[in-house]
Chain A
């Protein structure tokens, strides 16, 4: 079993690109890597909650809505930030504080447009590896096959009975998912994903102490 002692966020050091205002992570074992059982089947789970998360809500009639330029269910990268069409007329911008700030400052706020800093509201994890979809299959009823959730796809769904926003965001051709949930569920969801990995990786995370 994993230790339940919470530690200062270990993943900050691993992700120097993010200059987040989140001073403390709430997840133990932040940045846990899982030892692969099969060669080439590395499976990692990282707590990247420090990522800046900005919600932009803007109707189709607004300039901001056009500026987002990302349809519902899709995502795209701009200036180091990920713009996610998370819901109709609603986007989440994920990225380093500096980069997303530039994006937000450039937004036309005329009309009924809301910009809300959601950085503290959401936990965000990155699940990476060839078996990442197999892990998600154990937690979520959506179809994780390439044709239904290709790289870039953005969905919302129940994961281990917690409603999550999920973006397929492959890293150098390796399957990877950004999974975010309400901050208060963060530890529970992190543990649930770790537990689901049992059949794909062995042993406790090597760098659990972060």
Chain B
């Protein structure tokens, strides 16, 4: 055990032991321990195997970014064990080890080193291609990442939108001071901290540091700042649209917050950079910050015989911490020209280090403090291109960005007071700029409270620059070592890749995959650049760096998915459908009865007696105004100027390219009042289409378009007995065939419900009345129809029966029998295209299409033999004896009325004449013959029934 006696800054609660398992073995820690600290306290050194070479790895940075610390926790893969806190009975396992963490056989096969060198994705496993299935199996065993359990129950993820004045990314001293100053200046502030508590590096510092952290945290809370810990600002997008993943939500597993930050303050601090040398990935080689977190926050001593290679005060502090913790410590000081060359040791741990002067020191812990990387990600996302500063050996922001301000380590160095002064000035500037943004937003927004006074000017950035403390440039020793620990890429690989010609940093990155692993470049980007610069004999500034893009830290799919919003629409009759055995289908967002158990029976009953169908999803647009006929004439291809009150007419609409957009009937209810119906799926499109013409090309037309689809429950009453049934319920309308003719509309009181309207049309081919009832009464009228028509044999029918009946009648469905290339002349309604109108949507294309001899046409088709075989929808029609496609089946069903299969299909014009024999290729490859029919209607081609 290496647990230390109580430390002044420890965050563990020794009164609350927590038991968990590591690869099935019982382990114990305390509340507040991370998995990493508990494992290290329990003597565990090897926690993972490297991705390609399967080398044993231990904790290196001991923070969220630790590339060696990804573990499986229960069914949760890729958990960052140096961040995740332990919980009782947590089952923690090493990931992707075979057969075990201690003995990964792939490490000794030699396979890895032979084939997985830089660029292996592009070089090996390519030829011969027929071996690819084998390659894939081999490679998949090397893929990083944990186990995905497909039986994992759905977990509740959440989403939130918020509009703070200032979002501060980073809860260290600078972030806290900036948030505090902004809040004191009146801003609404959201402070987001990656770790489990505010404080940043002060948390693993000395007494003075911790006191400062506590004071700032208390002040932040008192100032009303909204604080999110264990949360990460993962991206900054256009206009400061900021993505925050909140991991500590009380209800949800995770919550994705989309914050529209008026000003974003980037205060992520600095990330300690690993040093590249031979053996730098051996367990026991750690960064100084890792050691300080272990010792000071979790009271864990990660080694007893330490060598500390240091170039800065943090390394010195780590050495002091280790001494205080009782370890033997030898300091190798880079500032005095001392250096390390290689780490030596076995598979479980570092055992010695070889120095530049040839000395060899035994150790079980090798600590490096080689410098810092500035995680400028959020600035990159705002189009900054940071530049390299040689004196401090790190990158700095280069371009002032109005709504993203950097402070803390990104902006410079200095004493704690200087840094906090800078952060406070940043907070005040952020608040002032947020006020200016807010004023503009409020003034421009119709609904907002009126603004007082003049718009404030844009506050200039007059913050004094922070000093920069020189730091030795330490990237690589004289030996080669690992640069990207996540992707297992060494400096030798990179030099090789550069030699092969991949010598720009963006190319090198993609070729070697360096910086593309779970650490997202936080640890390895600058070393990558430095190694490349060295290989090319250039400076780091000349090589430049890669662009950091979102996400700042990897995001789970669950967080991105958030709460699932899948709107569903139902009609007012839906409860009845549910209670009466309907099988539902999803049509767009509508939930509709597909059938009530026997679609063919529903067809027969409707053809013989009377059926009723809920057709509420039918799009309905209320059109009012003196210029409605002009609008209709423009939208439809046929003529509308002389439609009489009480009449309805069918029309097809085309887009400007002549392709059929929608179809339906429109009736004239009053002098300046029309009702348009659209297809169920086309309602929204047609509305926007109509508004487009009214608002852009014809603003002088006086028409009001109002969607009323859901305002009316629509019921189709169809069948030979439908008139008898309607007479019983709509007594105020003269239903005599001569008084209320086919293609007419009447307003009516139905079953005592006023303000209904109905039209005589017939998609099913039967005598039918389409009722439109104010929706609140829809269910009442539906039930009244069933009751009143009981002796007539009334039964409901669903979408499937309707589809069969319309196919028997040869009525096409837009989107089913037409597609994105089908122009109006193709569907057999050439007479509905009136080119003598002055203008209508798509007119020129339709004029040309009418002359086009090559466009496919829609025809009715019936199989000629194998009489019971129903062709598959989408089956191809080919030229006999060949595979040349000359058409396809678009709709196909067995007709209960004709006892034979009936189809619609699109075919080339040369095979569209009635009687032409066609060859249809079924989905299983069988070929059947079929014939082009004379009429689209297979059933009642003369339309006797519908006009009855």
CA distance A116 to B705 in the complex (A): 11
Q: What would 11 A/B residue contacts be, using CB atoms closer than 8 Å?
A: A24-B780, A26-B574, A57-B704, A71-B446, A112-B626, A112-B704, A119-B776, A142-B161, A161-B565, A183-B775, A184-B571
A146-177 residues with Cβ-Cβ distance < 8 A to B are 146-150, 153-155, 160-162
A1-56 residues with Cβ-Cβ distance < 8 A to B are 6, 20-24, 26, 55
CA distance A189 to B575 in the complex (A): 17
CA distance A14 to B442 in the complex (A): 37
Given contacts A114-B624, A138-B160, contact A21 B774 (CB under 8 A): yes
B586-603 residues with Cβ-Cβ distance < 8 A to A are 589-590
| Pair A143/B160 contact, Cβ less than 8 Å | no
**Residues from chain A with Cβ under 8 Å of B449 in the complex:** 146-148, 150
Interface presence of A118 (CB below 8 A): yes
Given contacts A57-B704, A154-B447, contact A137 B162 (CB under 8 A): yes
Partner of B161 from the list A140, A162, A185, A199 (CB cut-off 8 Å) is A140
Partner of A121 from the list B250, B438, B448, B708 (CB cut-off 8 Å) is B708
The 7 A-B pairs with the shortest beta carbon distances in the complex, nearest first, are A121-B711, A73-B446, A73-B447, A22-B776, A184-B569, A183-B710, A153-B447
| Pair A155/B776 contact, Cβ less than 8 Å | no
CA distance A26 to B568 in the complex (A): 13
Chain A residue with the shortest CB-CB distance to B255: A138
| Pair A162/B780 contact, Cβ less than 8 Å | no
| Pair B779/A24 contact, Cβ less than 8 Å | yes
**Residues from chain B with Cβ under 8 Å of A139 in the complex:** 565
Starting from the known contacts A26-B570, A149-B448, 13 additional A-B residue pairs (CB-CB under 8 Å) come to A6-B575, A73-B447, A112-B704, A118-B706, A119-B776, A120-B775, A121-B707, A121-B708, A122-B711, A143-B441, A147-B448, A149-B447, A187-B568
| Pair B706/A120 contact, Cβ less than 8 Å | no
Given contacts A137-B161, A198-B251, contact A183 B447 (CB under 8 A): no
- In the assembled complex, the CB of B577 is this many whole angstroms from the nearest CB of chain A, namely 11
Interface presence of B163 (CB below 8 A): yes
Interface presence of B702 (CB below 8 A): yes
- What is the interface of chain B, defined by CB distance below 8 A to chain A? 158-163, 188, 249-251, 258, 260, 438, 441-442, 445-449, 563, 565-572, 574-575, 589-590, 616-617, 622, 624-626, 702, 704, 706-712, 774-777, 779-780
**Residues from chain A with Cβ under 8 Å of B712 in the complex:** 120
Interface presence of A110 (CB below 8 A): no
| Pair B567/A185 contact, Cβ less than 8 Å | yes
| Pair A138/B158 contact, Cβ less than 8 Å | yes
Chain A residue with the shortest CB-CB distance to B755: A117
CA distance A38 to B824 in the complex (A): 62
Chain B residue with the shortest CB-CB distance to A143: B163
| Pair B162/A184 contact, Cβ less than 8 Å | no
| Pair B569/A182 contact, Cβ less than 8 Å | yes
The interface size of chain A toward B, counting residues with CB under 8 Å, comes to 52
CA distance A67 to B438 in the complex (A): 33
| Pair B160/A155 contact, Cβ less than 8 Å | no
| Pair A184/B776 contact, Cβ less than 8 Å | no
| Pair B780/A23 contact, Cβ less than 8 Å | yes
| Pair B570/A187 contact, Cβ less than 8 Å | yes
Q: Which of B449, B567, B774 has the most CB of A within 10 A?
A: B567
Partner of B445 from the list A114, A148, A192 (CB cut-off 8 Å) is A148
- In the assembled complex, the CB of A180 is this many whole angstroms from the nearest CB of chain B, namely 12
| Pair A148/B163 contact, Cβ less than 8 Å | yes
- In the assembled complex, the CB of A93 is this many whole angstroms from the nearest CB of chain B, namely 14
Partner of B710 from the list A114, A121, A188, A192 (CB cut-off 8 Å) is A121
A78-128 residues with Cβ-Cβ distance < 8 A to B are 112, 114, 116, 118-122
Chain A residue with the shortest CB-CB distance to B776: A22
**Residues from chain A with Cβ under 8 Å of B565 in the complex:** 139, 160-161, 192
- In the assembled complex, the CB of B150 is this many whole angstroms from the nearest CB of chain A, namely 24
- In the assembled complex, the CB of A123 is this many whole angstroms from the nearest CB of chain B, namely 9
Interface presence of A194 (CB below 8 A): no
**Residues from chain A with Cβ under 8 Å of B711 in the complex:** 118, 120-122, 183
- In the assembled complex, the CB of A175 is this many whole angstroms from the nearest CB of chain B, namely 15
- In the assembled complex, the CB of A97 is this many whole angstroms from the nearest CB of chain B, namely 12
| Pair B447/A155 contact, Cβ less than 8 Å | yes
Given contacts A148-B442, A184-B616, contact A153 B704 (CB under 8 A): no
Contact with B along A179-210 (1 / 0, CB 8 A): 00011110111001001101100000000000
- In the assembled complex, the CB of A8 is this many whole angstroms from the nearest CB of chain B, namely 11
| Pair B568/A188 contact, Cβ less than 8 Å | yes
**Residues from chain B with Cβ under 8 Å of A162 in the complex:** 567
| Pair A72/B569 contact, Cβ less than 8 Å | no
**Residues from chain B with Cβ under 8 Å of A189 in the complex:** 567
Chain A residue with the shortest CB-CB distance to B702: A112
**Residues from chain B with Cβ under 8 Å of A22 in the complex:** 776
- In the assembled complex, the CB of B718 is this many whole angstroms from the nearest CB of chain A, namely 23
Interface presence of A141 (CB below 8 A): yes
